[in-house]
């Protein structure tokens, strides 16, 4: 598993705190995906420009490569009953085998080893087989003969929207990127939600290369940093994959002077996990627990498109690592003052 390759830092979790008015949290996606605002920051100077996502092309040139995460969110939240008729809720976190999943359970006391559960009025059954790290459970699932397990989960599950989104999502495809392909994420790689097929086609016409990678987003990415010293925080591992074709596209672009724009922190973590010390990206399928914070030396990523992240989060720490913590926190202060929309369905930030 790929882990951290970092220099020591004296920064604490509190150094990444900021105060966000609740009304700045976007509760629903914009009708037009590409109509978001975009704060652009020069990562070296800290110079800030306020513009629109549709202007992304003006910050790119032919030969640059856009790296996207094409993982697809599964409707991972399932509501069911215990064998004695009590309500239970699970969140699918990670598939370990065809019918075996690691899940988060609420309430946990109703999911003891050996306990049998049912979902979708009996269409889906599960048995608790293990209690693992952080109190998560391992469940073995089954369904009626002739039914496909993943299809049943897809039909009866609901989208696992973050807790700060309190409004119901009318169209669950709006929590998917337009290029989502392989099912497996428990949360969306949200920086990609701004793209439309038309925007992608226009970038290709401009000579921008597109290289898909895959990282199945787990809840570990969003787990609060509880330790005072950020170096004491341990990331959960996530499954990722880089194809030979995408690795070749990225490496050739870099060799020819093109820049690598990671769309989202997930694509960024994939690239830095799959790169060697010379910045060469290698095709691989593996787990990564890489934790990127200030002091990290980036090997491949030149630019980053990302949404605005929660205070004291590992994602905000990653963004700060690509530039400078004080510059990034100033950008956040400006975004709040100018009433940008924050978090999953919010506006975006481009670090150049």
- What pLDDT digit, counting tens, does each position of 26-79 carry? 999 999 999 999 999 999 999 999 999 999 999 999 999 999 999 999 999 999
pLDDT at 150: 84
Q: H or E stretch including 69?
A: strand 65-69
Q: How do strand 348-351 and strand 87-95 relate by DSSP bridges?
A: unpaired
Q: How confident is the model at residue 7 (pLDDT cuts 50, 70, 90)?
A: low
pLDDT at 351: 98
Q: Is the peptide bond before 107 cis (omega within 30 degrees of 0)?
A: yes
Q: Which residues pair with 77 in a beta bridge?
A: 91, 158
- Which tokens belong to 143? 């369904």
What CA–CA distance (Å, rounded) separates 218 from 238? 6
What CA–CA distance (Å, rounded) separates 187 from 160? 7
pLDDT at 167: 87
Q: How far is CA 24 from CA 45, 66, 180, in A?
A: 27, 28, 27
- What pLDDT digit, counting tens, does each position of 185-205 carry? 989 999 999 999 999 999 999
Q: Among 26-30, 154-158, 316-320, where is mean pLDDT lowest?
A: 154-158
Q: How confident is the model at residue 236 (pLDDT cuts 50, 70, 90)?
A: confident
- 260 and 67 Cβ atoms separated by less than 8 Å: yes
Tokens 């882990």 sit at which residue?
3
pLDDT at 193: 98
Of the two residues 288 and 98, the one the predictor is more confident about is 288
For the entire predicted model, the pTM comes to 0.91
């Amino acid at each position: 598993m790929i882990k951290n390759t970092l220099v020591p830092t004296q920064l604490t979790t509190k150094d990444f705190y900021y105060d966000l008015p609740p009304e700045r949290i976007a509760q629903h996606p914009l009708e037009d995906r590409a109509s978001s605002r975009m704060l652009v920051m020069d990562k070296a100077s800290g110079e800030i420009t306020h513009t629109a996502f549709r202007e992304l092309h003006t910050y790119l040139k032919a030969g640059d490569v856009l790296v996207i995460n094409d993982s697809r969110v599964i409707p991972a939240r399932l509501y069911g009953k215990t064998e004695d008729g009590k309500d239970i809720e699970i969140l699918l976190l990670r598939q370990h085998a065809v019918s075996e999943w690691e899940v988060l359970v609420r309430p946990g006391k109703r999911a003891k080893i050996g306990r049998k559960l049912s979902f979708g009025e009996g269409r889906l059954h599960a048995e608790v087989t293990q209690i693992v790290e952080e109190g998560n459970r391992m469940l073995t699932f089954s369904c009626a003969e002739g039914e496909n397990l993943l299809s049943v989960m897809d039909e009866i599950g609901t989208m696992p929207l973050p807790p700060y989104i309190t409004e119901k999502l009318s169209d669950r495809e709006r929590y998917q990127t337009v290029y989502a392909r392989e099912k497996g994420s428990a949360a969306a790689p949200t920086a990609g939600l701004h793209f439309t097929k038309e925007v992608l086609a226009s970038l290709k016409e401009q000579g921008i290369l597109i290289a898909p990678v895959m990282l199945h987003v787990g809840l570990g990415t969003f787990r609060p940093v509880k330790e005072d010293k950020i170096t004491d925080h341990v990331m959960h591992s996530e499954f990722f994959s880089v194809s030979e074709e995408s690795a070749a596209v990225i490496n050739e672009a870099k060799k020819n002077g093109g820049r690598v724009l990671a769309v989202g922190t997930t694509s960024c973590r994939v690239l830095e996990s799959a790169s060697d010390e010379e910045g060469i990206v290698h095709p691989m399928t593996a787990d990564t627990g890489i934790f990127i914070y200030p002091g990290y030396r980036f090997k491949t990523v030149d630019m980053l498109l990302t949404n605005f992240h929660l205070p004291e989060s590992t994602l905000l720490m990653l963004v700060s690592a690509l530039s400078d913590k004080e510059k990034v926190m100033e950008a956040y202060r400006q975004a709040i003052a100018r009433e940008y929309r924050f978090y999953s369905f919010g506006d975006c930030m481009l670090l150049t």
